[in-house]
Amino acid sequence: MDGIHDVGGMHGLGRTMTPHQGPPFAEPWEGKAFALGALAGRLTGANLHAFRHAIERVAPAEYLSGYYSRWLLGAQNLLTDSGIVSSEEIAARAARLSGREADEPPSPEPNKPTMASGGPGNLRTLESPPAFAVGDAVRTQNLHPVGHTRLPRYVRRRVGTITAVQPAQVFPDHAAHFLGEDPQHVYSVEFSSAELWGPGAEPFSLTIDLFEPYLERAE
């Protein structure tokens, strides 16, 4: 989806934070939010790709309000999608925990997704050979799916060069929607900064790992 999460190259997001040391969780609730997200897949029958998409679906203002806020709302999206808890139950429980009266609505009917798994993790072995080889010129497709994708906007319709063939992997665009693993070959594709950002760009190269369905051969 062309959402708030797809920030590569965007202007106007403010100054970059200077790297600094700090604990993994700035406040105790962040650690609990992390744990809830980490456990949400098992509780809901979802997968990593569905979790990423659940975070992408968080409303933009909430998305930008902080990492563990969006992570927590993403976990909540998975839990409500699967009928483990409802948003109304969460709102009512939050009200009661803060000392207000609230009727607790009945729990929803669980509705967990089912999708056959080809094994643990996301790396898979494919019998079909990769369509592209190191050194090939490829063009990224002009895809704008309404669902999950790992082809960011800033590399669409661009010409780059394959620099590595990576292990084949579960296809996020399908797995996030429980349509099946549909494993695909994955390639590291290198783009020049001028191809991405025009002739005034800083000199550098950008490498990104892209799934075969995102690519076509370039002349």
Partner 1 sequence: MTAAQEHIDPALRVEALMSLLTERGLIDQATVENLIKTYEESVGPMNGATVVARAWTDPEYRARLLADGTAAIAEMGYKGPQGEHIVVLENTPAVHNIVVCTLCSCYPWPVLGLPPSWYKDPAYRARIVREPRRVLAEFGLDLDPGVSVKVFDSSSEVRYMVLPERPEGTDQLTAEELAALVTRDAMVGVAKVTTP
Nearer of residues 22 and 135 to partner 1, judged by Cβ: 22
Query: Shortest CA distance to 178 belongs to which of 5, 54, 34?
Result: 54
Site for partner 1 in 169-208 (CB under 8 A): 169, 186, 188, 196-197, 201-208
Does the protein bind partner 1 through residue 99 (CB under 8 A)? Answer: no
Distance from C-alpha of 18 to C-alpha of 101, rounded to nearest angstrom: 44
Residues 130-149 within binding reach of partner 1 (CB under 8 A) = none
167 binds partner 1 (CB under 8 A): yes
d(CA 183, CA 95): 44
Considering the complex, what minimum distance in angstroms separates the CB of residue 137 from partner 1?
18
- 179: tokens are 């349509």
Q: Would you say 135 or 203 has its CB closer to partner 1?
A: 203
Q: What is the CB neighbour count within 10 angstroms for residue 109?
A: 6
Rounded to an integer, what distance in angstroms lies between the CA atom of residue 177 and that of residue 1? 12
Which residue among 2, 62, 180, 217 contacts partner 1 (CB under 8 A)? 62
* Residue from the set 38, 134, 143, 218 that interacts with partner 1 by CB under 8 A: 38
Min CB(104)–partner 1 separation in Å: 9
Classify residue 121 by its DSSP letter: S
Q: Would you count residue 2 as binding partner 1 (CB under 8 A)?
A: no
Q: By CB under 8 A, which span of 118-126, 131-139, 175-183 interacts with partner 1? A: 118-126
Q: Which one, 11 or 219, has the nearer CB to partner 1?
A: 11
Structural contact between residues 186 and 172, judged by C-beta atoms closer than 8 angstroms: no
Shortest approach of partner 1 to residue 113 CB, angstroms?
15
Is residue 172 classed exposed, middle or buried when 0-12, 13-18 and 19+ CB atoms within 10 A define those classes?
buried
34 near partner 1, rule: CB under 8 A? yes
Reported residue count of the chain is: 219
Our CB check for partner 1 shows the closer of 136 and 183 to be 183
**Residue 186 φ/ψ, nearest 5 degrees:** -125, 140
DSSP state of 213: G
Size of the residue set binding partner 1 (CB under 8 A): 91
